[in-house]
Each structure stands twice: as structure tokens, then as C-alpha cells.
Amino acid sequence: MALALEAGEREAVREVRALLEKGGDLEKEGAAEFCSDATLLRFLRARKHQVELAHKMVRASIKWRADNRPLEVQCEACAQNPRSHTLREVGMDRELRPVFYSSFAGQQNKDADDNIDHIIMVLERTFDLIPAQQLVWIIDVAGFSAGDLTPSTGKQALKLFGDHYPERLASVIVLDSPLVFSGLWRVLKQWIDPQTHKKIQFVRMRDREAVFKAMFDDALFARIEAELADTRDEARLASKSWWEETPLPPPRLEGRKIVPDDELEVDDCAVPVAS
């Protein structure tokens, strides 16, 4: 579903594109295809319609894509062990946006870099196939334990979305979060800008039906209900297959970081970026 243009946005997109053309950025490998009007609009909105800041942000993302080749990223962990990660696309909502589902239960790999590779792979594959600009993400907190309290993956994911996939998140539903999750949330929310924070809603299991039925058709609602039931049944979860076979990717180069540790610090002078 296309993003509706607000007053002045069309001209602002033209201005960003003109700056990119002037600097020769669109001549770089893959840049012209990446810098669609819809992409430039998302970056503009993330920078609160400030053309110079949006231009700088797009240029940084062009370089990041050239360095990391996200279209070629595959999840090495899942190729070795398909139970490594649970994030996958499960359908489309009523506004034809892809819906992602993930749970802590059943996830066997908690390495931050592996998780970021998996997120990139799913994002790139999804938006390469589906002409949508935003997604809905159901984060099922079932299975969360004290071992999941490290914030590294969450911090890197927020950095990834903020810098290179801005305005992709339409809604994030955090489902069935236990009390222990509040400790991790207190740490992570300091890196979430106010606009993105508005897109996140915590939903209790007993309240999910009304929320889901407002967003999803009957078929997707039934699919998600089945996922929730499987996640909460140890025997079914142990035998469940939710992955696709993928070719074994080359190993990650030693020292390669999609989101370098030294970039995870909050820049007090930066304009908050909406995801």
C-alpha cells in the first residue's frame, strides 16, 4: 500500500533526489533502484521533512547497502539450524501490509549479529516481493526468560530500523509480556523515539481477539491463533517446522558488524528517527 503524500512532500522528495543526483550518489551500484520516491519519502518523514538531514541519511544508507549488500544477506544460523530464529512473514493485514510474527519460545540462537542477519534477510525478501512500504510485527513474548534480558539484539535492531529501514514499522504488537520483560523494556525504550513509541502497543492474551480482528481478516486471524497455540504447547513446538530451506551462505567475515558497537550510543544532538 502506497504512502499518502502530505502537503509539500512531493517537492521535498524532488529536492532530495536533486541533491543525490548532484553528488553522483545515484550512479553507485544499486542506488538508483533503491532510491524510489517511496523510499525517499520514508527517509524524509524519519527526519521530520528536513531535506538536508534526509539527504545525509539516504547517502549513509546507500553506503551501508554497498558495504553490506543486504539483498544478498542470508541467515547463516538458520541454514545450519532451522530452529535458530522464529521471525517470519505470516500474511497480510487489511491494509495489505505484510505481517511478521516472532516468539521467544522455540528460538535457539540468541547471538545478536545472527539475529540482525535474519531480520535483514526477512525484510529484504518481503519488500522485494510485496509492493508495500510498511509492516506489522507481532512480537509474542511467550518463552521469554532471564536469559533473554541482554539488550544487544534489541539495540542493534532499533539502530537498523532507524538508520536503514525508517518508517517501515506501521505497528508493533508486543503480546503476552511477563513481568520479567519489563526490565528489558526499560532499557530499550530509551532508544525509541516518540513517534515510533506510539506505534508499539502491549496486548494481553485475553485482549488479543479484538485487536487482531480489527487488523486482520478471518484467515490470518486463524493462522495467528494457530501460531499462538503451537508456541504455548511444548510438544507441538518441538515438532513444528516454520522455516524454508535456503542455500548455505558464505560465513560472516571475522569482525563484520552490520551495526558496529561504536554506533550504538545515543547521539544527543541527533534528530530522533522514526522507524
DSSP state of 189: G
Q: Encode pLDDT of 39-78 as tens digits.
A: 999 999 999 999 999 999 999 999 999 999 999 999 999 9
Which pLDDT value is given to residue 264? 46
Specify whether the CB–CB gap between 135 and 100 falls below 8 A. yes
Domain 9-68 sits in CATH 1.10.3470: no
Q: Are the CB atoms for 175 and 102 separated by under 8 Å?
A: no
Residue 25 has pLDDT above 70, yes or no: yes
Percent with pLDDT over 90 in the chain:
75
Which range in 208-217, 244-253, 254-263 is most confidently predicted, on average pLDDT?
208-217
Sign of CA dihedral 117, 118, 121, 124: negative
End-to-end Cα spacing for the chain: 17
Check whether 16 has a pLDDT greater than 50: yes
In this structure, the chain runs to a length of 275
What is the helix, strand, coil percentage profile of the chain, to 5?
50, 10, 40
Burial class (CB in 10 A: 0-12, 13-18, 19+), 16: buried
Q: Which residues contact 28 (CB under 8 A, 6 or more apart)?
A: 62, 66
Phi/psi for 130 (5° steps) reads: -115, 125
Q: Work out whether the CA dihedral 93, 95, 98, 102 comes out positive or negative.
A: negative
Three-state secondary-structure class, residue 71: helix
pLDDT tens across 185-218, in order? 998 998 898 889 999 999 999 999 999 999 999 9
Residue 183's SS3 state is helix
- Residues near 204 by Cβ (< 8 Å), separated by ≥ 6? 176
Whole-number Å distance between alpha carbons of 21 and 135: 29
9 CB burial (10 A radius; 0-12, 13-18, 19+) = middle
Question: Which listed CATH number (3.40.630.30, 3.40.605.10, 3.40.525.10, 3.90.180.10) goes with 83-239?
Answer: 3.40.525.10
141 within 8 A of 175, measured Cβ to Cβ: yes
pTM here?
0.86
Map out the domains of the chain as residue ranges. Answer: 9-68, 83-239
